[in-house]
Structures are given as C-alpha cells and as structure tokens.
Chains A and B, each alone.
Chain A
Amino acid sequence: MLKVEQLSISYEQKEVVHNFSFEVEQGEILSIIGPNGSGKSTILKAIARMQPYNTGSILFEGENMRRLSSKEIARKMCMLSQQNQAPSDISVKNLVAYGRYPHKKWFERLNADDESVIDWALEKTYLSHYKEKPIAALSGGEAQRAWIAMALAQRPQVLLLDEPTTFLDIAHQHEVLELVRELNRDMGMTVVMVLHDLNQASSYSDKIVVVKDGIRAQMGTPNEVMTEQMIQQIYRMEAEIQYVSWDKAPRIQLKNTVRV
C-alpha cells in the first residue's frame, strides 16, 4: 500500500533520517516509535508532504508520490497532527465539510453525496449530536474526534496520525485509539501512526517500526519488537515484558533507567 524506500531527510543541512525504509500493507496499523528527536515525526511528515526529503522515494500502491498532484494525494491519504488549531467559531459540521474539498473542483458546491459522507463521518466519530456546536466548545478528546471526522470525510485509504494522543487524558487517549482500531477493522483503513506510549503501540499495532537517531532499529510485530533488549538499547531503560489474559499484545513494565 505505502512503501518508503531509502528515505534520507535533512533539517537545516544536517541529515536527521538516514536511508529509512518500511512498508505497510493495506488494512494494517503500523506504529513508529522511538525516543524524542529520533526522527519519527519527521518521517511521517515527509510522507504527508510537509517535510521535503533529499533522497529515496515514497510509493503509494507502487506509484511514486512525487508524480501525483496534491489533490490526488489528498483523496488517498490524510494526516492528522497532535494538535490542530481551527477558527474557534467554526461548527463541527463545517469543519468536517472541509474534508470534502479535495473531491471538489474549486467552484463546486457540496451535494447530497457529500452531505451523506459528512453525516457518516460524524456518526462514525460519535459527533452527530455536536454538529452545530463550535469547535471551541468541545473537550480535547471531542475536538480530536472532530479532526478525525474531517479526515474521514476525505475518504482516505491511508490515515497518518502524528502522536494523536499526546494532549489527551487517558480516557480520551483510549477513546481515540479505539476509534482508530474500529476504522481499521470496519473499513480496512490503513493507519500509520507515531506513538510515544509503548503499551499503546503494542496493543493497537499490527507492526511496529523502531527508530533511533534517524535509523531503523527494528521492525516487526509487537511480539517480535517489544523485548527487554530493545527497550534497553533504544530507551536505556530496564523493563519487563508481561502478558495479560485479556490482551495478546505484550505489555511493557518499565523499571529503572540504565546507568551508563
């Protein structure tokens, strides 16, 4: 579905991502994890055309994304960042309606089909009752859901999420990730996300890529990647991997910082 090949990215003349490759299949959830400053968000931004890259290529269903117009890409892929600012008086429904613009010519109005996509996106994100409310009146979790609804209205095949839970409390974090999982399961939406929380990455991902210093350190299923050695190498933390009865994903218990 989405293939990143030998990507190198420089930031102010310093190369921060080196020769980075990974691939995500249709219908998978892939998480990128790594310490602060490892380059994980930069990689996601490069995929979303918000960060130029020097060498390498990004292929969408085998086609180089550089050859697609930004509107074509907007119909296939959508990125959501950790925090978005909207004009505070815009209503939820109007915000979600912007998601239809990549499908419209510049003078075209929204038609009944667009309206039904918008309603569907609101319903999927449990925001139907809030559609006339201004964004500023929503809680952090609801606002994040409204942005996801806008992304859904774009009807993308791939959803990119940059730390979607960072500014939310634990209940809202759970709510957003459950929604992502639901979209993935019900609609086969492919998801690539950057996460900080190792346990969230472990339980919500099919595949995990570990980044350190702009280099791909590991890639595999949560079971393959989440090991005590990995956590020690990447985060310099001592950890214990546990398994609980109600979740087949490994759970990470952090213990001490390893002194060097």
Chain B
Amino acid sequence: MIHTARSRMIIITTFVVTILAAVIAIGLGSVHISIPDILSTIVNGRNNEGVYTTIIWDIRLPRVLLALIIGASIAISGALLQAVMGNPLADPGLTGVTSGAAAFVLLILLANPELTHLIPLAAFTGGLIAAAIVYALAWRRTGITPITIILSGVAVNALCGGVIGFLSILYSDRLPSAVQWMNGSLAAKGNASLHMIYVYAIIGWILSIFAIRKANIIRLGDQVATNLGESVTRIRIMLSILAVFLAAISVAAVGMISFVGLIVPHMARLLVGSDYKYMLPMSMAMGAIVLLIADTGGRTLFAPLDIPAGILMAVIGGPYFLYLMRKRAF
C-alpha cells in the first residue's frame, strides 16, 4: 500500500529539489556564478546593471526555464497517453506523435520560413494526425496491446521520417539550422522559444489537472468506466488531444526529445503509485528535473561542445528502456 501522506511528501520534495537544481544549473557554464549572485541578479530584475544580468536574464534563465517547462510538458503528455491507451509503453516519441509534429514543423522551417509564427499550430496538427493514424492502426476491439503500439509507432515514425528526409533533400540549403532544432537542442533557443510556448504550456498544465479524475476512471477499464456513466471514447479523445498538445508545443520549441514521456511516468509510478492524483504532479516535477539535468549535462560535460538534450536523453533513455523490458515492466 502506497501511503498518500508519503506520496505527498515525495512530490513536494521533488518540486523543491527541482527548484534547487534550477538555481544550481543557472550557475553552471563557462562562467561560474555563485548562488547568492544568481539570486540577487534575479531579484534585482532584468534592467539592473549587474555583472551577470545579461548572462542570467538573456541566456541561462530562459534556457533553464525552457528545460523545466518542456520536460514537465512531455512527461505529462506521456502520462496521459499511457492512461488513454491503458499501456505503459504509450509515449509521444514511440507512438510517432513527436515525429508527426516534427514533420509539420519542418514543412514550415524549410519550405515556408515566412510562416514561423504558425509553428506551434503546425506541430499540433502534425501530432494529431500521427495520433489518429496510431489509433486507426493499433486499436482493436480488446484495446491496445504493446505490440500494436510499437508496430503502429514504427509505421508512423517511418512515414514521418520519409517526409522529413524528403524535405531535407528538397531544401538542403536551409538544413543546418533545422538539424540543430530537430536534435532537441535547447541551445540558442532562449527567450524567443520561451515566449512562444509558456502560455500554451501553462494552459496545458491547468487542463491536465482537470484530466486527473477522467484519467483515473479510464484506468479501471472501458467496461467499468461505461458503468460509471462516462463516455470512454470521449475521454480518450479529449485526453489524447491534450497529450498531443503538450507534446506538440515542446516539439515546436525545441524539436524531438525522446524517452522523457516514457521513462518519467514510469519512475513516478514506482515512487508514488499509479493514482493520477499523485502520479501526474510527480511526472510533471520529475520531467522538469530530468530534462534540466540532460540539458545542463549536455552543455557542461563536454564544454565547449553543446550536446543537444535530445541526444543525451536518447543515450540515457535507450538503455533504461531496455532495462525496463528486461524487467518485463510492459
């Protein structure tokens, strides 16, 4: 029995640790900044003439906030998809939602660069199409099995990979910046990306608080949920749209980041149990800290190289995923 008081403590602790980690991460980099300096620079506001004002306000703080917001959003997205599909393998990356969104964003970045303001919308559309294909392919009368998720995810990912490859050849001159974006790099994204997504992210988070009860009900199975007077199909569609939305804004801002949506909800479940009242906030906090660590690690471990967080996540996430398979977590 996982105790509710204990779960609450774990969640609060994780949030506190996340904030601490964020402050420490702001201090790390080619110029080391001490914690008192960080705090005073933040408290004094961005127009203050301090030594670190530009570094912190224009570079480090936006990047750290971006990592936190995106990590949290992808983790929530994964947690919601797992409820919808009733399967711990459902994740925006494996199901192809991420690459669907990426293909549509590339369509803008490469083919129509003048439409940059439509990137979030394009990502959302691409993600929705990918999700719809996965459902059409994977849904059986008895629900979704791990095999069908993986297979339809492979199909959708291949399709999107094809589109992305095709676009890259057609517009090879504009490719370098797009590649940087596609790798899931938070470098040089800064304030522009942050401003593009933070409102959407907060809306998504608020909506996901309202999704908690519905997510819990569909975990009881279609039959029980129907019995409780819920329209299972409607819940599925609404939660999926929300999950795609959260994944899409992340793709729009920083490109493809894999495994966060798969691993984080799994770890959260181990720590606080499968009740979404606890699991969802825990996923949010852990997603934030995991991506922050990946991004900060990427930019400091191999400095002056800046390894995209997406690449670091893939390197850590792949083996962890294999480990879960060995433990037969799916």
Q: List 24 A-B contacts (CB under 8 A).
A: A48-B226, A49-B226, A50-B226, A69-B229, A70-B230, A72-B229, A74-B227, A75-B229, A78-B227, A84-B220, A84-B223, A84-B224, A87-B274, A89-B2, A89-B274, A89-B275, A90-B274, A90-B275, A98-B216, A101-B213, A101-B217, A106-B214, A134-B1, A150-B224
Contact with B along A199-241 (1 / 0, CB 8 A): 0000000000000000000000000000000000000000000
The answer to whether A98 and B217 touch across the interface, beta carbons within 8 angstroms, is: yes
Question: What is the minimal beta-carbon distance from B288 to any residue of chain A, in angstroms?
Answer: 24
Nearest CB in chain A: distance from B88 CB, A? 11
Contacting residues of chain B (223-245) with chain A, CB-CB under 8 angstroms: 223-224, 226-231
CB <8 Å contact, A81 and B223? yes
B interface: dominant SS: loop
B219, B223, B227, B230 — most chain A CB neighbours (10 Å):
B227
Measured CB to CB, the closest approach of chain A to B208, in angstroms, equals: 14
Distance between Cα atoms of A75 and B227 in the complex (Å):
9
For window 1-41 of B, CB contacts with A under 8 Å fall at 1-2
Q: Are A79 and B275 in contact (CB-based, < 8 A)?
A: no
**A82-96: which have CB < 8 Å to B?**
84-91, 94-95
- With a cutoff of 8 Å between Cβ atoms, the chain A residues found around residue B224 in the complex are 84, 98, 150
Cα–Cα distance between A150 and B275 once the two chains are bound (Å): 17
Closest residue on chain A to residue B221 by CB atoms: A85
Q: Is the CB of B226 within 8 A of A70?
A: yes
Q: Is the CB of B228 within 8 A of A86?
A: no
Q: What is the bound-complex CA distance between A107 and B214, given in angstroms?
A: 11
Residues of B bordering A, CB below 8 Å: 1-2, 210, 213-214, 216-217, 219-224, 226-231, 273-275
Q: Across the interface, which residues of B come within 8 angstroms of A101, CB to CB? A: 213, 217, 228-230
When chains A and B are docked, how far (Å) is the Cα of A227 from the Cα of B293? 74
In the complex, chain A residues whose CB is within 8 Å of the CB of B226 = 48-50, 70
Q: Is A71 an interface residue (CB 8 A)?
A: yes
Point out which of B1, B221, B224 has the most chain A C-beta atoms below 10 A from its C-beta.
B224
Chain B residues with CB under 8 A of A56: none
Whole-angstrom distance between the Cβ of A108 and the nearest chain B Cβ: 10
Note all chain B residues with C-beta closer than 8 A to A86: 219-221
A89-B273, A91-B1, A133-B1 as given contacts; A84 in contact with B229, CB under 8 Å: no
Knowing A84-B221, A90-B275, the reply to whether A132 touches B1 (Cβ < 8 A) is yes
- A101 CA / B274 CA spacing, docked (Å): 19
Q: Which residues of A contact B217 (CB under 8 A)?
A: 98, 101
Please provide the 10 A-B residue pairs with the shortest distance between their CB atoms, ordered closest to farther: A74-B229, A71-B229, A102-B229, A87-B274, A70-B229, A89-B273, A101-B228, A87-B219, A134-B1, A79-B227
Q: Which residues of A contact B220 (CB under 8 A)?
A: 84, 86-87, 95, 98
Q: Which residues of A contact B229 (CB under 8 A)?
A: 69-75, 101-102
**A7 to B212 alpha-carbon distance, docked (Å):** 38
Q: Which residues of A contact B275 (CB under 8 A)?
A: 87, 89-90, 94
Give A80 to B221 CA distance when docked, in angstroms: 12
Does A164 sit at the interface, judged by CB under 8 A? no
Task: List B contacts of A49 (CB < 8 A).
Answer: 226
Contact mask A46-80 → B, CB, 8 Å, 1/0? Answer: 00111000000000000000000111111100111
A 148-164 binary contact with B (CB < 8 Å = 1; else 0): 00110010000000000
* In the bound complex, CA of A84 to CA of B227 (Å): 12
A106 vs B229: C-alpha distance in the bound complex, in angstroms? 12
Known: A74-B229, A87-B275. 15 other contacts (CB 8 A): A49-B226, A69-B229, A70-B230, A79-B227, A84-B224, A85-B221, A86-B219, A86-B220, A87-B220, A89-B273, A98-B228, A101-B213, A101-B229, A134-B1, A150-B224
A106 with B274: CB separation less than 8 A: no
Judge if A99 is at the interface, Cβ distance under 8 Å.
yes
CA A158 to CA B231, docked complex, whole Å: 20
Can you name the residue of chain A whose Cβ is closest to the Cβ of B229? A74
> Closest approach, in angstroms, between the C-beta of B31 and any C-beta of chain A?
47
Residue of A nearest to B219 (CB): A87
Q: CA A174 – CA B106 in complex, angstroms?
A: 64
Q: Which of A103-158 contact B (CB under 8 A)?
A: 106-107, 132-134, 150-151, 154
Report Cα–Cα, A94/B226, bound state, in Å: 18
List the A residue with the shortest CB-CB distance to B141. Answer: A12
The complex places the Cα of A71 from the Cα of B229 at a distance, in Å, of 4
CB contacts (< 8 Å) of B230 on chain A: these are: 70, 101
B273: A residues at CB distance < 8 A: 89
Smallest Cβ-Cβ distance to B3: which chain A residue: A132
CB distance from A29 to the nearest CB of B (A): 20
Roughly how many angstroms separate A91 CA and B3 CA in the complex, as a whole number? 10
Chain A positions within 8 Å of B216 at CB level: 98
Contact partner of B227 (CB less than 8 A), chosen from A48, A95, A106, is A48
A150 and B1 CA atoms in complex are apart in Å by 19
B residues in contact with A99, CB < 8 Å: 228
Q: Which of A72, A80, A89 lies at the interface centre, i.e. has the most chain B CB atoms within 10 A of its CB? A: A89
- Cα distance, A184 to B1, chains bound together (Å): 33
CB distance from A109 to the nearest CB of B (A): 10
Report how far A248 CA is from B11 CA in the complex, Å: 60
- Complex CA–CA separation, A48 to B224 (angstroms): 11
The answer for the CA separation of A78 and B231 in the assembled complex, in Å, is 15
